[in-house]
Structure 1
Amino acid sequence: MAFTIVLHLLLVLFPLKYTANDNVGITVDLIPRNSPLSPFYNASVTHFDRLHDAFERSLKRVNNFKRVLENRARSSKFQTQIIPSEGEGEFLMNISIGTPPFQVLGIVDTGSDLTWTQCLPCRECFKQKLPFFNPKHSSSYQTVSCESSACNHLYLSTCSGDRKTCEFGYSYGDGSETSGVLSSDTFTMGIKNPVSLRNISFGCAHDTTGKFDESMSGLVGLGGGKISFISQIGESVGRRFSYCNPRVEASSTSSKVVSGIMSFGKDAVVSGSGVVTTPIISKELDTFYYLTLKGISVGNKRVSYKGSKVTENENEGNIIIDSGTTLTFLPAGFFDDLVKALEEAIDGEKVDDPGNVLRLCYKSTVDNLNIPILTAHFEGGDVELQPFNTFVQVADGVVCLSMLEGDTPVYGNLAQRNFLIGYDLEASKVSLVSRDCSKH
């Protein structure tokens, strides 16, 4: 279950109630998993170690994306239950479920759809720091029947003997599994004006095995599928969300508390001067958000996009934008051309990545190396990437290009830092504008 955003939702005992006809906006805090505000934070681990761990999660996540797409191409319904990750996401979400509200912590994942949490009775569950959700304590809880549209939206579901209960089962790329009962309840979210959203379908997991972290208790799916959280709240607040991730300063001892914001509904509209809007391209697997990248310029030198052997004929929808993947991945030939252009433009001493992950590194810092502006040419407009979007400090005195070659192209969250990015699923578009995301 992957997750590249962390949403911190203030829980309240008496949330405001809205109907489907109200024009509602919701704004929440967005907290990186390695922030001191996150339960994943370990003060004994250096900033650079945390960064390297994020790179490793990126590699796992993109490999799992590849596996999902390959399985989908084989048209096997059983295989499509395999979803991207088991906790590699980069943001967490505290949300309240039930009446009265009960706090649940999950990784937010724009690369999967179903929202789920561990529930009592737990036949086999991973250890978690937070208490388990007990459906018997919520007056608004109910199970979902097999005849419901929500059950039909699951990639794989089974039914109880009386067909009154829809059951789900998901496998993750690393072999982890979760299964249980598809349910619905009231979800509460929002900072200044908390909102309760009724009848949200989610997975009440009673059996969960594999590599899950005890700091989490489930997953919040923000993919484009019909069972995803963002799709379900469409009738109440609209199928729109946006986020703004701040730049994180590089330091071996850095522990600065930084957070961004995430908004839903009318609060998620991205407009004004400098906004670049690019279409979301629909594909058979509607979970992922596909954009069209035409090329990347290094200063004034344009490097045209070209796909891998697998994707060479894909001119549209050739890259997934994902908040849960730290690095950006490009087809091998395109990546090689980009690296060559960067080597020609940058005057610096090349060194190896101490973590043996990234390919183009220099003995310097991001601020002292003469890194040119990179411009990502999307269908619909150009996005200028600052040096901190494209290079990252991986050790004291070593800076590396935060991009790699990969068969599954992904536009990662380092490239998205200090951009307000809005997803409008009704209009099928993504809008981006440069913004200081530390000021909100």
Structure 2
Amino acid sequence: MAQRFLLLVIYSVVFNLCGAFASTTDDHRRPMILPLHLSSPNARQYGRALDGRRLQRSEPNARMRLHDDLLANGYYTTRLWIGTPPQMFALIVDTGSTVTYVPCSDCEQCGHHQDPRFQPDLSSSYQPVKCNINCNCDDKGAQCTYERRYAEQSSSSGVLGEDVISFGNQSELVPQRAVFGCENIETGDLYSQRADGIMGLGRGHLSVMDQLVDKGVISDSFSLCYGGMGVGGGAMVLGAIKSPPDMVFTHSDPFRSPYYNIELKEIHVAGKPLKLNPKVFDEKHGTVLDSGTTYAYLPKDAFLAFKDAIMREIHFLKQVHGPDPNYKDICFSGAGRDVTHLSKVFPQVDMVFSKGQKFSLSPENYLFPHTKVSGAYCLGIFENGDSTTLLGGILVRNTLVTYDRADNKIGFWKTNCSELWKSLNYEHAPPPPSNGQNMSGEIAPDIAPAGLPQTVLPGELQIGQISFDMMLNINTSMKPNFTELAESIAHELEVDISQIRLRNYTISGNDLLIRWTIFPAESANSFTTAKAMGIILRLREHQLQLPQKFGSYQLVKLKVEPQIKQSWWEQHSWVVAVGVSVTLVLGLLALGTWLVWRYRSRETIPYEPVDAIVPGAIVAEQELQPLK
């Protein structure tokens, strides 16, 4: 079921080191976004050479992979490490929030999330943000506090701390000290979600972006690229990248609100402009981009005009009820199951900006698949109870969006976000210094993944095989094509199909538990450290992007087994085998007997007993309410 996920802050009592700000609203159903903090634009200018369609880095930045799926989970997450040694967290990427926070070890009311809570006592680099005149303080008057409330009536509150944050071994940006929230209380959907917390990318002194820019370690720009329908994943870059020459930019006014806005003037459907007053997209807070919101919400007049225009173009399709009776979704059947052919059925939609620039949307940017009717799709654009135009993540799937805060503009470029990561994943990033300190004095992260003994350095362990259990949520009682699934896994892990072996599987309802083992290449007795680390990180961080037909998956268990040292007999068995073969051949020739041996290769797969599936191992995401 598609999730209705909204992360628009409607009330906040958050005090940072540089000032205090607050906001209120009288109607939680509306995306009322009152200013929390108005940052002055950064006057620094950064040049961007336009050099071909392949993206290239212009200066050091943090390259980070995105996980999860917008419709299946309601959000995208990235991995952030906090502390020394680093503790990993899966954080929702949210341009509508200005604080990054994770559950604290002493949290009085926090849910069960993907990773363990942050333990300040285990981090040698952690420091509390001491109480001062510019912040609210805890009951003891010792530490600054924060509070965030969201439109769907969830909230987060806790204390502010400072520690080293690390961006993963794919990033060339070294770890940096930053202020973040350590949660004491979660309510609503923040309590029940699988993700650990929020990574705030909005404008404000507590924002990760503002902190990194103020330190001078990155340019004042970041980019997000969400995967397409049924694919998920994507990429994120903190810092500047060189923009593609055909990227479409529009002005973004930093003084209007702390949220990222664009100058939308018109919407065209099938080449025809909607008959609307252009000011309809400029009311209240204008047109706001919010990566923490799942769908798009238009003011009433704009929504009705858009819906009617779409329905006129697809009058030949049958209108059907939506997948959830709690929502009056507008859905159509008869479009076919192949999402790559949607553009042959549904019309193109264009957003026209203030200077006439036009950015075209594909059907996947305004539709979501019906979960109960095959070949049916529903509008992912809804009526907003407020006059603000709110554009969520659905509108920018398979779109690189660059938030150029230095030049006060936002750029859009259609691309394959699943493939974009390969363009941003440079193989020659400098390794962290071996002495545990980087050149700026920050502490370098320990990136040893789970499954490797923490007491063994990567170069000291010869890994012989990697085993993992994955849980698939299948939509049918029929088991999937395991050969095709193995090929997809091999492609994602960049190994040969011959290196992957199915151990066993079991089905319980719609849950399919599969055990796999990955072996080194035939010419090697063990994996190289780099290869093993790459495979383990991809598995551990849920980076496999499987075809939609296999549904969603969850990593249940990961096991790394060292290379088994061979005995003298095993190491020299080929010598004995050759000697025996030569003797046998000579004997056969002497007798004048010709024997023909027919050998059929037959691989046996041991089906070991499967442990019972742990109840609650897969927890469905909670349905989040849309604004009406």
Give the structure-1-normalised TM-score.
0.72
- Check the 8 A contact 1:276/1:433 in 2, yes or no: yes
Number of the residue aligned with 1:390: 366
Deviation at residue 422 of structure 1 after TM alignment = 0.4
Number of the residue aligned with 1:300: 271
SS at match of 2:273: strand
Corresponding letter in the other structure for 2:286: N
Deviation at residue 425 of structure 1 after TM alignment = 1.4
Corresponding letter in the other structure for 1:140: S
Corresponding letter in the other structure for 2:137: C
- Check the 8 A contact 1:183/1:204 in 2, yes or no: yes
Number of the residue aligned with 1:273: 245
Q: Is the alpha carbon distance of 1:431 and 1:316 closer, same or farther for their aligned partners in structure 2, counting shifts above 3 Å?
A: farther
SS at match of 1:414: helix
Distance 2:114 2:395 in 1: 33
Number of the residue aligned with 2:286: 318
Distance 2:193 2:365 in 1: 31
Number of the residue aligned with 1:420: 400
Which deviates further from its counterpart, 331-340 or 297-306? Answer: 297-306
Distance 2:331 2:311 in 1: 8
Q: Is the alpha carbon distance of 1:193 and 1:435 closer, same or farther for their aligned partners in structure 2, counting shifts above 3 Å?
A: same
Matched, 1:224 2:203: yes
SS at match of 1:158: coil
- Check the 8 A contact 1:420/1:437 in 2, yes or no: yes
Number of the residue aligned with 2:235: 261
Deviation at residue 357 of structure 1 after TM alignment = 3.7
Q: Is the alpha carbon distance of 1:415 and 1:284 closer, same or farther for their aligned partners in structure 2, counting shifts above 3 Å?
A: closer
Number of the residue aligned with 1:204: 182
- Check the 8 A contact 2:264/2:354 in 1, yes or no: yes
Deviation at residue 99 of structure 1 after TM alignment = 1.3
Corresponding letter in the other structure for 1:28: M
Deviation at residue 383 of structure 1 after TM alignment = 0.3
Number of the residue aligned with 1:236: 217
Give the structure-2-normalised TM-score.
0.51
Matched, 1:372 2:347: yes
The C-alpha deviation readout for 1:152-188, integer Å capped at 9, x for no partner, is 4xxxx52258865212233344544432221111100
The C-alpha deviation readout for 1:331-350, integer Å capped at 9, x for no partner, is 11112122222233334133
- Check the 8 A contact 1:95/1:189 in 2, yes or no: yes
Distance 2:187 2:331 in 1: 38
- Check the 8 A contact 1:183/1:202 in 2, yes or no: yes
- Residue among 331, 350, 353 paired with 2:299: 331
Name which structure has the greater RCO, CA cutoff 8 Å, separation 6+: 1
Deviation at residue 243 of structure 1 after TM alignment = 1.6
Deviation at residue 410 of structure 1 after TM alignment = 1.4
Corresponding letter in the other structure for 1:361: F
Distance 2:160 2:83 in 1: 15
SS at match of 2:418: coil
Deviation at residue 27 of structure 1 after TM alignment = 0.8
Corresponding letter in the other structure for 1:275: M
Q: Is the alpha carbon distance of 1:31 and 1:304 closer, same or farther for their aligned partners in structure 2, counting shifts above 3 Å?
A: farther
Corresponding letter in the other structure for 2:304: D
Number of the residue aligned with 2:450: none
The C-alpha deviation readout for 1:203-225, integer Å capped at 9, x for no partner, is 11233344413633222111122
SS at match of 2:282: coil
Which deviates further from its counterpart, 120-129 or 381-390? Answer: 120-129
Corresponding letter in the other structure for 1:289: Y
- Check the 8 A contact 1:158/1:168 in 2, yes or no: yes
Distance 2:109 2:345 in 1: 54
- Check the 8 A contact 2:220/2:405 in 1, yes or no: yes
Q: Is the alpha carbon distance of 1:316 and 1:384 closer, same or farther for their aligned partners in structure 2, counting shifts above 3 Å?
A: farther
- Check the 8 A contact 2:248/2:411 in 1, yes or no: yes
Q: Is the alpha carbon distance of 1:103 and 1:227 closer, same or farther for their aligned partners in structure 2, counting shifts above 3 Å?
A: same
- Residue among 162, 182, 189 paired with 2:160: 182
Matched, 1:411 2:391: yes
Identity percentage over the alignment? 28
- Check the 8 A contact 1:117/1:218 in 2, yes or no: yes
Corresponding letter in the other structure for 1:25: N
Corresponding letter in the other structure for 1:402: G
The C-alpha deviation readout for 1:206-258, integer Å capped at 9, x for no partner, is 33344413633222111122211111111321221112122224xxxxxx6x5
The C-alpha deviation readout for 1:99-158, integer Å capped at 9, x for no partner, is 11111222221111111111123333333352221112212111113448xxx4xxxx52
Number of the residue aligned with 2:62: 26
Number of the residue aligned with 2:194: 215
- Residue among 387, 410, 414 paired with 1:434: 414
Corresponding letter in the other structure for 1:241: F
Distance 1:326 1:124 in 2: 26
Q: Is the alpha carbon distance of 1:333 and 1:273 closer, same or farther for their aligned partners in structure 2, counting shifts above 3 Å?
A: same
Deviation at residue 412 of structure 1 after TM alignment = 2.4
Number of the residue aligned with 2:137: 159
- Residue among 96, 101, 117 paired with 1:111: 96
Q: Is the alpha carbon distance of 1:97 and 1:371 closer, same or farther for their aligned partners in structure 2, counting shifts above 3 Å?
A: same
SS at match of 1:32: coil
Number of the residue aligned with 1:65: none
Distance 2:408 2:335 in 1: 41
Distance 1:313 1:340 in 2: 18
- Check the 8 A contact 1:293/1:305 in 2, yes or no: no
- Check the 8 A contact 2:256/2:285 in 1, yes or no: no
Distance 1:221 1:335 in 2: 29
Corresponding letter in the other structure for 1:243: L
Distance 2:153 2:296 in 1: 25
Distance 2:401 2:126 in 1: 34
Number of the residue aligned with 1:13: none
Corresponding letter in the other structure for 1:378: F
Q: Is the alpha carbon distance of 1:301 and 1:209 closer, same or farther for their aligned partners in structure 2, counting shifts above 3 Å?
A: closer
Corresponding letter in the other structure for 1:224: R
Q: Is the alpha carbon distance of 1:124 and 1:321 closer, same or farther for their aligned partners in structure 2, counting shifts above 3 Å?
A: closer
The C-alpha deviation readout for 1:44-83, integer Å capped at 9, x for no partner, is xxxxxxx4x76xxxxxxxxxxxxxxxxxxxxxxxxxxxxx
Distance 1:173 1:282 in 2: 22
SS at match of 1:179: strand
Distance 2:66 2:309 in 1: 35
Which deviates further from its counterpart, 188-197 or 416-425? Answer: 188-197
Corresponding letter in the other structure for 1:413: G
Deviation at residue 376 of structure 1 after TM alignment = 0.8
Distance 1:306 1:197 in 2: 48
Q: CA RMSD in A?
A: 2.9
Corresponding letter in the other structure for 1:26: A
Number of the residue aligned with 1:58: none
Distance 2:285 2:163 in 1: 35
The C-alpha deviation readout for 1:330-371, integer Å capped at 9, x for no partner, is 111112122222233334133133224423534323626532
- Check the 8 A contact 1:245/1:416 in 2, yes or no: yes
- Check the 8 A contact 1:299/1:372 in 2, yes or no: yes
- Check the 8 A contact 2:257/2:285 in 1, yes or no: no
- Check the 8 A contact 1:144/1:165 in 2, yes or no: yes
Number of the residue aligned with 1:57: none
